[in-house]
Chains A and B, each alone.
Chain A
């Protein structure tokens, strides 16, 4: 999956179902799939190789690794991309914005697996390498959404704020950033889901995660292991997207 999915997922024009139904649909569906997966695996007679992968300790460990990678990368992206996005949106930096957009569009064409492997040549394999790759990949959507979100604030509001005697800092903090929150959150949600996906590739550079199950299953020709890894990855992606949607609804300033 590439960063292009930003554009794809951002303006998902889903009509909101009644709150309860909508909020519960995704977790219930995930639960059903997980139960079905468990039931299916229980019916299989696992050989020793499969047992080595498909046991509680390994699954828990892989879940933690996957989430660690995703959350650490997202936290770093927040710290890096939002301030940069705000800086890029300032009027004095007019020239920077198009440059960022162009580099951003070109950067999307770099395949994430290529980026990860290239990182290994610089830093060797491991968690940190995967983290660098993930951050490099997810920074752009958040940076771009922050920049665009701040720039899209209605100029009449800025003029009203200036006319009322707010200082530039106050306008940025109390008006521009607040109004950019929906766009920033949408970018973050996209980045999160993107990161969950790219984190599966972390297994290629020995950073663990669900990708390891997928890869090992394929290498050792043990399809159940691959399927468990694939389904778990998909479930965690849907779950994170669902959490992101909830967070968007809760954190969005009221009145908007």
Chain B
């Protein structure tokens, strides 16, 4: 069976796996964004807390994904639970770090001007600081997403959803007719998802970056 015949004959399975792959990554990223940006906002002004949050999220990233995912099994069982938890944990570092960098990198004069005009702290954060730091935060989210799309392939080993199942199927049937097709379908599918997510972020960045930051001097 040629590759294209394989893809056509398994289209339902493949598209479902791809959708699940994208879904689990998207949910993990959404959770990690809410928590990560929150942690970044709360800690960016406190050196000790800031360094601790970055050190912890960097340590998580040092743990190999197969190890982390399997070590979660006793806690969250096989399947979606461990996959989501593991992926979310991996996504923190780029998001927290870029939030902190973005907020700290703001022109001190801009923030002081806002304070001088009588904006309260929360209002200043919402109206001035976050919009200005947003392009950098979004970059962090994008980096995390690209990373998770790859890691999610391994999640199939702990019965997680997604295209990784195709790869492991190919591996378990090495030598059989469709093993290469399955592996190739899984791998290429993941690359395509990564590209689509990148396009998505390109559009989002264009739509959500404050206009004043986009215009060229």
Contacts and interface: CB of A to CB of B under 8 A. Distances in A.
**A and B: interacting chains:** yes
Interface of A: 1-2, 4-5, 7-9, 11-15, 106, 108-115, 117-118, 120-121, 125, 193, 196-198, 200-201, 204-205, 210-211, 214-215, 217-218, 223, 226-227, 229-231, 233-234, 237-238, 241
Contacts of A223: 73-74
A197 B170 CA distance: 22
B68 A8 contact: no
Contacts, number: 160
A201 to B, nearest CB: 6
Contacts of A121: 179-180, 183
B146 A196 contact: no
B147 A214 contact: no
Mostly helix, strand, loop or mixed at chain A's interface? helix
B187 A110 contact: yes
A198 B64 CA distance: 7
A233 B61 CA distance: 13
Interface stretch (B33-41, B189-197, B207-215): B189-197
B187 A115 contact: yes
B141 interface: no
B58 A9 contact: yes
B61 A8 contact: yes
Interface stretch (B7-15, B127-135, B151-159): B151-159
A234 B54 contact: no
A241 B150 contact: no
B64 A2 contact: no
B61 A9 contact: yes
B167 A114 contact: yes
Interface size range of chain B in the complex: 35 or more
Contacts of A196: 64
Contact of A111 (B51, B143, B150): B150
A256 B63 CA distance: 30
B58 A234 contact: no
Tell me whether chain B's interface is mostly helix, strand or loop, or mixed: helix
A54 B74 CA distance: 19
B215 to A, nearest CB: 25
B54 A214 contact: no
Interface in B44-77: 47, 51, 54-55, 58-59, 61-68, 70-71, 73-74
Contacts of A204: 171
B61 A5 contact: yes
Contacts of B63: 197, 233-234, 237-238
B167 A113 contact: yes
Contacts of A109: 146, 149-150, 190-191, 194-195
Contacts of A238: 59, 62-63
